[in-house]
């Protein structure tokens, strides 16, 4: 493994500058940088990166195409396995997937696979066709619930095979977490997310917004009254968790979902343009250590706060992407590790005044293999703050399951579905966070595509039994 | 886009609108609400469904202008469109699920205040159409602010009006009127349903507790999505945290922590006032204000 050049640095906004704006942190590679980085790939005969990719992108092949300067070829290779390269290139936890298995990474830094994927994805958004795809319709209708990565991927595949697909979305904007959760500085909305969605629209997929399945209409009405032959549920895991500690309903305590939704979906970071307000705290404590916590704390920082992460385990256990933790630190976010809140303390007017915490130490490993934190006796202290944001994870919204006969849920409230996405109800499929609980974009996208295949098989197998319904 | 089919000014600062939204109309029940976004830059605001017409595919809302979002909504003219209209949300009123014969045996009293009168109307109308009797008290500061009294009279068994200044009906608050009915006139009620400003509902709840009448309140907490994903709307009911948008909006009024609910409603007050001033100032300068 001789003479491998060092990993190509990627250009970023200066930490001090970006900590005060919502523009994208990372500028990405230009062609020259991408080709330099591509030259670092060893083209292993048995590529471990491909095995570690949840959707099995042919990584060495697309990297070879970049090295040759054939970006269209690179885009085509990725497109075989992934629908959203410019998004996954930005948000996948590469360090525990492709890059974590890269042979170059053993002695050196791994090939920047994520940044290369992003480069190809962005190139394609800039240079790809803007024409509507010509597809022979097959006369069958499929409904997709939710426009997050799972729903988008499922809809796109089905549309390519000729299905008339309608996506029903509860919110007024498409994209799921990509739009309401992950902030602009990590995933630009107009430049990236909306254009990825436009690609799906060009396949002929129809979108109906402001439709809350379970309220505005039901799974049954889609199947029985509106003539859909099958339904895919990609409704995500949107319910916020709270700790159940004293003082959680004080003014100034928010779920990360509320804080981020106000900022991203409602545009509250740009008050001169948008009407929705958001709390601009002076000292903000964010409880949690995942991507959601990092997004919330960095958003609070950008709104002008002194921002803290409060996490009950140690830094090694932080579940967030390594890059986000690194960026957060550069931006001046402070990390209080091995710290757990026990109560939120209010002032006489009912506003947050402090977060009462205890110190933790790591004990024996739990079922997940992580060492579980235990309280250090007598370590209680108060962290003064005026805003507390709970980023403790989310679970699936029970609305659809509770309004659909025969749709089973497990103990964690997730829909029960087979590996292929078949639920316990005939003709109803599901995938993404709705099935797994909060996970990742790439897993949701992969699940959407698997379910599309299963729906295709299902409809073909029932075609003789059921006359084609039309409307 | 959702077209405003009809717009009527009911009182100073209160407008009624029929919105074209066939899917919402098709699924709506009394007690539910919609989330409305008037413009592309706008807030998502919750408004109660005050009536709906399945044939015409329309949903009626009654809006009181308070801040920027309600002002912007009420500036849109009949025939024009609003950006987003999502619903129906929340749980329908409990009585929708009750046996009509059981309901008929009950003495129901609705107590409405201000713009809360609007959502009371479809509930009383629904009951009237199912042969169930209900009395109604409508409260307002003064006569000019009363809305929907004729409509309400046509569906209520008895309509009582209370104005703070005595310009119409009973002089005093709705709670005074309630006590008069029960303690002086000897009326008996099995259930009270109250919708209106949080402070009014708080005092109605205190009074009915004293009088021993089970009471339901429809809460108007702050909301963002209205589907259970943010927790902005959380309230304490019987010591437990509930989300108004999915667990409500109707709760047992004697269990609701109204002081917390009112405090939480005011979380953005300073910011909202600032925005309102700025918006009014802006309209003045570009000469839109009449
Ligand atoms: C703040 C944040 C940061 C994250 N960062 C990362 C990251 O860096 N990397 C990564 O890989 N993953 C990240 N994730 C996780 C990732 O975003 C999710 O795993 C992924 O979006 C799940 O996709 P999905 O399609 O299953 O659901 P979602 O993206 O949640 O989409 C579900 C959609 O369904 C809609 N819906 C729900 N109920 C209904 C209904 N009843 N009727 C109609 N529509 C409905 C919702 O409004 C939503 O639009 C992050 C998540 C959050 C919240
Ligand atoms: C389930 C539900 C149903 C509702 N139904 C109706 C309805 O049918 N008609 C109607 O006119 N309104 C209704 N509301 C209230 C309505 O949503 C608010 O008036 C609106 O969001 C205010 O927006 P704004 O930007 O105009 O005012 P803001 O700028 O948000 O507020 C202006 C002022 O009013 C106060 N305020 C705002 N909202 C409330 C509230 N909920 N309670 C007490 N004070 C408040 C603010 O603190 C501020 O001082 C309902 C609310 C809920 C939750
Ligand atoms: S409004 Fe967001 S959870 Fe109720």
Statement to judge: residues B133 and B84 lie in one domain: no
Other beta carbons within 10 angstroms of residue A471's beta carbon come to 8
CATH code of the domain containing B32 = 2.40.30.10
> Is residue B268 within 8 angstroms of chain A, CB to CB?
yes
The maximal CA–CA distance of chain B, rounded, in angstroms, is 60
Q: What's the whole-number mean pLDDT along residues B271-277?
A: 84
Pseudo-torsion of CA A75, A78, A79, A82, nearest 10°? -140
> What average pLDDT does the structure give for chain B?
91
Phi, psi of B19 (to 5 degrees): -110, 135
Statement to judge: residues B143 and B199 lie in one domain: yes
Count of residues making up chain A: 471
Which pLDDT belongs to residue A467?
52
- Residue B286 pLDDT level (bands cut at 50, 70, 90): low
Statement to judge: residues B46 and B84 lie in one domain: yes
Other beta carbons within 10 angstroms of residue B80's beta carbon come to 11
User: Could you tell me if residue B264 is inside a domain?
Assistant: no
8 Å CB contact of B23 and A172: no
pLDDT at B43 over 50: yes
Statement to judge: residues B83 and B171 lie in one domain: no
User: Could you tell me if residue B290 is inside a domain?
Assistant: no
Count of residues making up chain B: 290
Q: Give ∠ CA A413-A150-A257 in degrees, rounded to 5.
A: 60
Q: How far is the CA of A436 from the centre of ligand 1 (A)?
A: 12
Domain boundary among B68, B89, B110: B89
Q: At what angle do helices A149-160 and A194-202 cross, to 10 degrees?
A: 20
Residue with the smallest CA separation from ligand 3 atom 2 is B230
8 Å CB contact of B41 and A240: no
Q: Where in chain A is the domain with CATH 3.50.50.60?
A: 141-238+395-465, 242-392
Domain boundary among B89, B118, B139: B89
Structural class in CATH, domain A242-392: alpha beta
Which pLDDT belongs to residue A293?
97
Radius of gyration (C-alpha) of chain B in whole angstroms? 19
Statement to judge: residues B82 and B106 lie in one domain: no
How many folded domains does chain B comprise?
2
Q: Quick one: what percent of chain A has pLDDT higher than 90?
A: 91
Phi, psi of A447 (to 5 degrees): -65, -35
Statement to judge: residues B82 and B111 lie in one domain: no
Which pLDDT belongs to residue A470?
45
Which pLDDT belongs to residue B200?
94
User: Could you tell me if residue B233 is inside a domain?
Assistant: no
User: Could you tell me if residue B111 is inside a domain?
Assistant: yes
**Which residues, 6+ apart, have CB-to-CB distance to B286 below 8 Å?**
none
Per CATH, the homologous superfamily of domain A141-238+395-465 is: FAD/NAD(P)-binding domain (3.50.50.60)
User: Could you tell me if residue B269 is inside a domain?
Assistant: no
Statement to judge: residues B116 and B207 lie in one domain: yes
The H or E element containing residue B36 is strand B33-37
d(CA A456, CA A450): 10
Count of A-B CB contacts under 8 Å: 106
Nearest to A215 among B44, B89, B229 (CB): B89
8 Å CB contact of B241 and A248: yes
8 Å CB contact of A211 and B227: no
Report field, pTM of the whole predicted structure over 0.90: yes
CATH code of the domain containing B198 = 3.40.50.80
Q: At what angle do helices A291-302 and A322-330 cross, to 10 degrees?
A: 20
- SS3 call for B73: helix
Which pLDDT belongs to residue B276?
86
Q: Which residues of A touch B83 (CB under 8 A)?
A: 172
Measured from the CA of A177, which atom of ligand 1 is nearest? 29
Domain coverage including residue B112: 94-218
Residues A434 and A146 sit within 8 Å (Cβ to Cβ): yes
Give me the tens of pLDDT residue by residue for chain A, a chain 471 residues long: 446 799 999 999 999 999 999 999 999 999 999 999 999 999 999 999 999 999 999 999 999 999 999 999 999 999 999 999 999 999 999 999 999 999 999 999 999 999 999 999 999 999 977 667 788 899 999 999 999 999 999 999 999 999 999 999 999 999 999 999 999 999 999 999 999 999 999 999 999 999 999 999 999 999 999 999 999 999 999 999 999 999 999 999 999 999 999 999 999 999 989 999 999 999 999 999 999 999 999 999 999 999 999 999 999 889 999 999 999 999 999 999 999 999 999 999 999 999 999 999 988 887 777 788 899 999 999 999 999 999 999 999 999 999 999 999 999 999 999 999 999 999 999 999 999 999 999 999 999 999 999 999 999 998 656 555 444
Is the preceding peptide bond at A141 cis, omega within 30 degrees of 0? no
Tell me the pLDDT tens digit for each residue of B148-194: 889 899 999 999 999 999 888 899 999 999 999 999 998 999 999 99
Which pLDDT belongs to residue B231?
95
Among A274, A293, A319, which residue's Cα sits nearest to residue A389?
A293
Is the preceding peptide bond at A218 cis, omega within 30 degrees of 0? no
Q: Which of A208, A210, A391, A438 to mutate to test the interface with B (most CBs of B within 10 A)?
A: A210
ipTM value of the model?
A: 0.92
Statement to judge: residues B75 and B105 lie in one domain: no
Statement to judge: residues B172 and B150 lie in one domain: yes
Which pLDDT belongs to residue B163?
93
> Is residue A402 within 8 angstroms of chain B, CB to CB?
no
8 Å CB contact of B231 and A255: yes
Structural class in CATH, domain A15-127: mainly alpha
Statement to judge: residues B77 and B101 lie in one domain: no
pLDDT at B290 over 50: no
Q: Please give the span between the terminal C-alpha atoms of chain B, in angstroms, as a whole number.
A: 28
Statement to judge: residues B178 and B98 lie in one domain: yes
Nearest to B227 among A254, A276, A397 (CB): A397
pLDDT at B204 over 50: yes
> Is residue A275 within 8 angstroms of chain B, CB to CB?
yes
Tell me the pLDDT tens digit for each residue of B112-144: 998 788 888 878 988 998 899 999 999 999 988
Q: Which residues of A touch B26 (CB under 8 A)?
A: 217
Residues B253 and B217 sit within 8 Å (Cβ to Cβ): yes
Q: What is the DSSP string of B129-141?
A: HTT--EEEEEEES
Q: Is the CB of B33 under 6 A from ligand 3?
A: no
Statement to judge: residues B98 and B84 lie in one domain: no
Q: Is the CB of B171 under 6 A from ligand 2?
A: no
Domain boundary among B89, B106, B129: B89
pLDDT at B26 over 50: yes
Residues A389 and A420 sit within 8 Å (Cβ to Cβ): no
């Amino acid at each position: 493994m001789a003479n491998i050049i060092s990993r190509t640095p990627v250009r970023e906004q200066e930490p001090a500058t970006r900590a005060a704006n919502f523009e994208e942190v990372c500028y990405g590679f230009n062609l020259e940088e991408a080709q330099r980085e591509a030259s670092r790939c060893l083209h292993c005969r048995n590529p471990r990166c491909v095995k570690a990719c949840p959707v099995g992108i042919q990584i060495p092949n697309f990297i070879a195409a970049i090295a040759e300067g054939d970006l269209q070829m690179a885009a085509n290779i990725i497109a075989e396995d992934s629908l959203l390269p410019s998004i996954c290139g930005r948000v996948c936890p590469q360090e525990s997937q492709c890059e974590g298995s890269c042979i170059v990474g053993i002695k050196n830094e791994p090939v920047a696979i994520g940044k290369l994927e992003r480069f190809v994805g962005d190139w394609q958004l800039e240079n790809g066709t803007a024409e509507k795809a010509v597809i022979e319709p097959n006369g069958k209708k499929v409904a997709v619930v939710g426009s997050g990565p799972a729903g988008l991927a499922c809809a796109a595949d089905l549309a390519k095979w000729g299905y008339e697909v309608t996506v029903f979305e509860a919110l007024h904007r498409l994209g799921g977490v990509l739009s309401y959760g992950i902030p602009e500085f990590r995933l630009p909305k107009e430049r990236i997310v909306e254009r990825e969605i436009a690609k799906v629209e060009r396949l002929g997929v129809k979108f109906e917004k402001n439709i809350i399945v379970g309220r505005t209409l039901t799974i049954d009405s889609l199947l029985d009254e509106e003539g859909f032959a099958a339904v895919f549920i990609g409704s995500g895991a949107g319910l916020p968790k709270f700790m159940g500690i004293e003082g959680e309903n004080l003014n100034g305590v928010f779920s990360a979902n509320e804080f981020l939704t106000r900022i991203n979906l409602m545009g509250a970071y740009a008050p001169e343009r948008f009407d929705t307000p958001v709390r601009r705290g002076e000292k903000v404590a964010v409880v949690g250590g995942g991507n959601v916590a990092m997004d919330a704390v960095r958003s609070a920082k950008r709104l002008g706060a002194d921002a803290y992460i409060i996490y009950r385990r140690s830094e090694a256990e932080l579940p967030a992407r390594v890059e986000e933790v690194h960026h957060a630190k550069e931006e001046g976010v402070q990390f209080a590790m091995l710290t757990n809140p026990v109560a939120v303390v209010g002032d006489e007017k009912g506003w947050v005044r402090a977060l009462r915490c205890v110190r933790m130490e790591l004990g024996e490993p739990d079922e997940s293999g992580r060492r579980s934190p235990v309280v250090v006796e007598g370590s209680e202290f108060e962290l003064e703050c005026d805003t507390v944001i709970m980023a403790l994870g989310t679970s699936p919204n029970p609305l659809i399951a509770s309004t659909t006969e025969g749709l089973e849920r497990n103990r964690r409230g997730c829909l029960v579905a087979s590996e292929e996405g078949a639920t316990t109800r005939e003709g109803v499929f599901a995938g993404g966070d709705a099935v797994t609980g909060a996970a990742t974009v790439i897993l949701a996208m992969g699940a959407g595509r698997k379910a599309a295949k299963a729906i295709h098989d299902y409809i073909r197998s029932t075609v003789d039994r059921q006359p084609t319904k039309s409307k | 886009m959702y077209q405003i089919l009809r717009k009527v000014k009911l009182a100073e600062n209160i407008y009624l609108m029929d919105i074209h939204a066939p899917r919402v109309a098709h699924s709506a029940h009394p007690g539910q609400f919609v989330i409305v976004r008037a413009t592309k830059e706008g807030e998502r605001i919750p408004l109660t469904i005050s009536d709906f017409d399945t044939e015409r595919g329309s949903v009626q809302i009654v809006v009181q202008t308070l801040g920027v979002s309600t002002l912007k909504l009420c500036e849109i003219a009949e025939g024009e469109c609003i950006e987003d209209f999502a619903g129906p949300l929340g749980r329908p009123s409990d009585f929708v699920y009750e046996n009509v014969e059981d309901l008929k045996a009950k003495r129901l009293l609705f107590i409405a205040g201000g713009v809360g009168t609007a959502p009371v109307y479809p509930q009383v109308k629904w009951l009237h159409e199912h042969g169930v009797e209900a009395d109604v008290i409508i409260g307002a500061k003064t006569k000019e602010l009363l809305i929907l009294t004729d409509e309400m009279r046509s569906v209520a068994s008895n309509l009582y009006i209370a104005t703070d200044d005595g310009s119409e009906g009973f002089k005093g608050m709705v709670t005074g009127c309630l006590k008069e009915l029960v303690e002086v006139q000897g009326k008996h009620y099995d259930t009270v349903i109250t919708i209106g400003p949080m402070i009014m509902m708080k005092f109605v709840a205190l009074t009915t507790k004293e009088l021993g009448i089970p009471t339901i309140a429809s809460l108007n907490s702050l909301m963002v999505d209205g589907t259970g994903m943010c927790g902005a709307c959380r309230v304490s009911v019987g010591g437990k945290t509930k989300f108004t948008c999915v667990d409500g909006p109707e709760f047992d009024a004697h269990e609701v922590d109204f002081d917390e609910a009112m405090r939480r409603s005011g979380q953005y007050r300073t910011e909202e006032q600032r925005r309102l001033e700025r918006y009014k100032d802006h309209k003045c300068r570009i000469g839109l204000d009449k």
